[in-house]
Structure 1
């Protein structure tokens, strides 16, 4: 069995693999303490290693991590807001699936990099958005497109909940990411973009992610949110620029 798993994993540079594991670790620490960050930090690193993996592995990690976080703060979920935003996410995921099935690999890398960079800029300059039903649906829809294509669909939905209390943010975003990541994975399976290769690659990072989540309970009291946010956005932005540059070279 182990030999079968090893055979299905793509050959990679061990330096890049270590950097990707570090990205998953940092992403899990950030998401464990704030409710978001795993996809934004980890997804670009995994795509740089192997673009054929797509967003599937990070979506699986998000399902696992979100399940743990919901168990911790289940009572604080904003259930009406979750239902409204998830309805938008379903539509956005289906639209993203149609787009993804038609994109060649080089174009996907370019779109992926642009969306990640857009997510970073949105996190920096997004401003305040009221938590109205219309904004929740739109945030869910855009999160569905970005999340299914890149596994980083957190910025838009996080902007709607940014003025809520910490437990409400973490619990509601975790519930949203759990449901939406599962649906996005279903879309990827239907269009043939998630299979055994992506699943076995995910297994490499599950222990790292769980360590990161456990570590988040220790470091959250000692590191300022602003410092973590600047670090996450810097890493994500740099990774997005690398992907865009590599895609442009392939296209040209």
Structure 2
């Protein structure tokens, strides 16, 4: 493998570990390296299919802990918005959108980290806003996680339910977005790296406390917001 391909495989393994351990983080970690190695037109669809696998592996063990109603509340706006976002944003300079979204997520992370409960996120409108924002960011760069991470961190779900519900959401969302953009089969080295990272994260996840899980989701959301801003500037 070349240098960029090796870096991409390492990022995939780390992203799969984060996804299995906290319920999110694969695309936030893996997308920049994969897009750099494969190019944006091939990289984003590849990220989405690998993200499906990153959610499917841990969900095969924890599917009984999914909160179907909560996952559905987030999926409905995300799936409805994906084809609309793909059409509207196809020829648009999305840098301003990425910066605005990144700043919004950073503000939310800071408030939640200080112990503030964002009550509007627990209302139906909060789920719609989170789902719509996630759909737009997933189309732009395959990184729809931060708005959903904020929603989950504010919801107060038990750790195993939070991880399983996030896995279910991202599994369905990434399948839907991949179908909208056109699926691209990933090369085998990232698939092997993903399996290794996911297995390690699945072994660790039962040992994480509620506080550690919540902090992990907030940390991944913060990293994703910084990545959005950094790549747009």
What TM-score range do you get, normalising by the shorter chain? 0.7 to 0.9
1:160 match: secondary structure: helix
Within the candidate set 149, 162, 165, 2:140 is matched to 149
| Structure 2 residue aligned with 1:31 | 19
Larger RCO, structure (CA 8 Å, separation 6 or more): 2
Within the candidate set 39, 50, 61, 1:72 is matched to 61
Distance 1:240 1:43, change over 3 A: farther
Distance 1:154 1:97, change over 3 A: same
The RMSD of aligned alpha carbons is 3.1
Shift of 1:31: 0.8
| Structure 2 residue aligned with 1:168 | 161
| Structure 2 residue aligned with 1:210 | 195
Query: Do residues 61 (structure 1) and 50 (structure 2) align?
Result: yes
Distance 1:18 1:181, change over 3 A: same
Distance 1:90 1:79, change over 3 A: same
* C-alpha contact 2:83 2:180 (8 A) present in aligned 1: yes
1:55 match: secondary structure: helix
1:183 match: secondary structure: helix
Aligned-partner Cα distance in 2 for 1:23–1:112: 25
Structure 1 gaps of 5+ residues are 1-12, 246-252
Task: Report Cα offsets for 1:219-238 as digits up to 9, x if no partner.
Answer: 5559x665897588558736
Q: TM-score, normalised by structure 2?
A: 0.79
Q: Deviation above 6 Å: which 4+ runs of structure 1?
A: none
Structure 2 gaps of 5+ residues are none
Within the candidate set 51, 55, 75, 1:86 is matched to 75
Q: Which has the larger radius of gyration?
A: 1
